[in-house]
Structure 1
Amino acid sequence: MPATEIAPLRIGDLVIDPPILQAPMAGFTNAAFRQIVRDFGGAGLLATEMVNARGFVWLDENEAEHPDRLWGVADEPRPLAVQIWDNDPETMAKVGRRLVEEYQVSVVDINFGCPVRQVTQKAHSGSYLLREPQRMHAIISQLVEACSPTPVTAKIRLGCHPDNINCNEIAKVVEEAGAAALTVHGRTAADMFRGNADWDRIGEIKSHLKNIPLIGNGDLDSAEKVVTAFEKYDVDAVMIARACLGRPWLFAQAAAALRGEPIPPEPTLIQQRDVMMRHYQLVVDRFGEEKATILMRKYACCYAQGKHGARFFRTHVAKVSTAEEFHQVVQEYFPVAVPEPTDSRSSQPAPENG
């Protein structure tokens, strides 16, 4: 149970309760996934996949359909954040304004944390910009002006490299430029997702902020860790990322723990399979069976992760290309039972663990 009552998060005039955020994750946090998270509850603020601002402008100017990453945004419940990335202040401001006026989003978030080469080295965006505080300031300040009164937030990493950690300096820049909140992932860009998130460094950033809230992100894969983050580190909210992809009920578990209530148990394996199939149907409804089946392969692997026989299931589901094949593989190979203890005297090999 939390030692003290956890206050709601305030991002500008927006109140986020509980102060648990779903991270924007490219290729994963689309409208179908967000709906599954809402079904369970517990997430105070959901976010889209990150949107390439320059690509959005091109589609707009050529009267093409807006990016699939904005699927569902216009109609789904609020609050909802859309995360965008680029390195040009004017482009970012233009897209931010469109998101506010046309989509009525609750928050416009700026990605200064993505470590992927395509975004950093090729586009000089994402975490690459941590080495250019002045450009970050220009991007944030112009976006804040364009989006007003909708709040603008920023997500960063500790720095570009372990030898160049500048998150405290960057935090000041973010606040001075007018951002309404700062999210920090506790690794550097060079770390990618290796090692452990440094929550001590995340907590230290709070003393470098005057008025805006600090949101901590990294390695939060249990309700207990979420409670610890609030109790041990000076953060105003937390953001859950990779751990929720196969466990969308994690937000509800964390929210209950913050309220001091018993943590809801994990759904049974059969229930988890059913959640995955509902997720699949939502994707089919949007993209049709062929495209949805391809897209669902990676989600299916997430749902099976850590379960007995997961590797065997992944091997088969990675090859499906039709709805019939998907249903058959799930029916035959998705882990729905806990194996009986193996007799140590048996000459048969123990089943493989994924």
Structure 2
Amino acid sequence: MPSTVIAPLKIGDLIIDPPILQAPMAGFTNAAFRQIVREFGGAGLLATEMVNARGFVWMYEHEAEHPDRLWGVGDEPRPLAVQIWDNDPETMAKVGKRLVEEYRVSVVDINFGCPVRQVTEKAHSGSYLLREPQRMHAIISKLVVACAPTPVTAKIRLGCHPNNVNCNEIAKVVEEAGAAALTVHGRTAADMFRGNADWDRISEIKAHLKNIPLIGNGDLDSAEKVVAAFERYNVDAVMIARACLGRPWLFAQAAAALRGEPVPPEPTLQEQRDVMLHHYQLVVDRFGEEKATILMRKYACCYAQGKRGARHFRTHVAKVSTAAEFHAVVEEHFPLNPVQ
């Protein structure tokens, strides 16, 4: 049971309760995944996959269908955040304005944390921009004006490299530019996802913010760790990322723990398999059998992670291309025995 009452998170005029956020993750947090998370409950704010702002503008100008990464956004419950990335303030503002006016999103989040080479070195976006605070300021301030009164938030890392940790400076820039909240992943870009997130560093940032909330992110893979993050560190909210991909019920467990209630047990392995099959059907309904089956391979691997026989299952599910093959592999190989 937490030793103190955890207050809701306030992003602008938006109240997020519980203050547990689902991280935007490219290739994973699509509408099907978000629906599964909502069915379990516990996430105060959900987010889309990150959207390439420049690509979105091109599609709009050429009257193409909106990006797959915005599938479901128009119809699903609120609150909902959409994360966008690029390095051009005008492009970002144009996309932010459309997201607010046409999609009615609750929050527009800016990705300043992605460490993937295609985004950083090739597009000079994501975590690359941590070395250009003035450009970050320009992007945020333009978006704030374009999206008003919808709040604009930013997600960063500690810095580009362990020898160049500048998150305290960046936090001031983010707030001065008008952002309504700051999320910090406790690694540098060079760390990628290696090692442990540095929550002490995250916590230190709070002293450099005047009025906006600080959201901590990194290595939260249990309800106990979520409670500990609030008790030990100076954060206003937490964001759960990779750990939820195969365990979308983690938010419900964490929310119960924050309320001081008994933590719901892990679903049985049979129940977990049923969740995965439900997830698969949602993807099939949107994309059709062939594309959905290929998309579902990586999700299936997440659901199996940490289970006895998971490697064997991954080997087989990585080859499926039809619904019949997917169901056959799940029936024969999905791990139904606990790790021993």
Range class of TM-score, shorter chain: over 0.9
Report the Cα offset of residue 338 of structure 1.
Answer: 3.0
User: CA separation in 1, counterparts of 2:39 and 2:232?
Assistant: 30
Alignment of 1:90-169 (within 5 A): 90-169=90-169
1:326 corresponds to which residue? 326
1:204-258 CA deviation, whole Å, 9 max, x = no partner? Answer: 0000000000000000000000000000000000000000000000000000000
Letter in 2 for 1:318: A
State TM-score, norm by structure 2: 1.00
User: CA separation in 2, counterparts of 1:13 and 1:149?
Assistant: 9
1:61 corresponds to which residue? 61
User: CA separation in 2, counterparts of 1:26 and 1:238?
Assistant: 19
1:49 corresponds to which residue? 49
Letter in 2 for 1:184: V
Letter in 2 for 1:6: I
- Pair member with larger Rg: 1
- Aligned-residue Cα RMSD (Å) equals 0.6
2:86 corresponds to which residue? 86
User: CA separation in 1, counterparts of 2:175 and 2:58?
Assistant: 30
1:278-314 CA deviation, whole Å, 9 max, x = no partner? Answer: 0000000000001000000000000000000000000
1:283 corresponds to which residue? 283
User: CA separation in 1, counterparts of 2:262 and 2:324?
Assistant: 40
Report the Cα offset of residue 337 of structure 1.
Answer: 2.4
Report the Cα offset of residue 168 of structure 1.
Answer: 0.1
1:17-63 CA deviation, whole Å, 9 max, x = no partner? Answer: 00000000000000000000000000000000000000000000000
Q: What is the SS of the residue equivalent to 2:154? A: strand
The answer for unaligned runs of 5 or more in structure 1 is 342-354
Letter in 2 for 1:262: P
User: CA separation in 1, counterparts of 2:45 and 2:336?
Assistant: 31
Identity of aligned residues (%): 89
State TM-score, norm by structure 1: 0.96
1:19 corresponds to which residue? 19
1:324-347 CA deviation, whole Å, 9 max, x = no partner? Answer: 0000000000011237x7xxxxxx
User: CA separation in 1, counterparts of 2:34 and 2:64?
Assistant: 25
Q: What is the SS of the residue equivalent to 2:102? A: helix
Letter in 2 for 1:155: K
Alignment of 1:165-244 (within 5 A): 165-244=165-244
Letter in 1 for 2:47: A
User: CA separation in 1, counterparts of 2:179 and 2:191?
Assistant: 26
> Are 2:287 and 1:303 equivalent residues in the alignment?
no
Letter in 2 for 1:338: P
**CA contact 2:307–2:337 (8 Å) conserved in 1:** no
User: CA separation in 2, counterparts of 1:135 and 1:337?
Assistant: 52
Report the Cα offset of residue 174 of structure 1.
Answer: 0.1
Q: What is the SS of the residue equivalent to 1:175? A: helix
Runs of 4+ in 1 over 2 A off after TM superposition: none
Report the Cα offset of residue 265 of structure 1.
Answer: 0.3
User: CA separation in 2, counterparts of 1:309 and 1:240?
Assistant: 26
User: CA separation in 1, counterparts of 2:279 and 2:100?
Assistant: 28
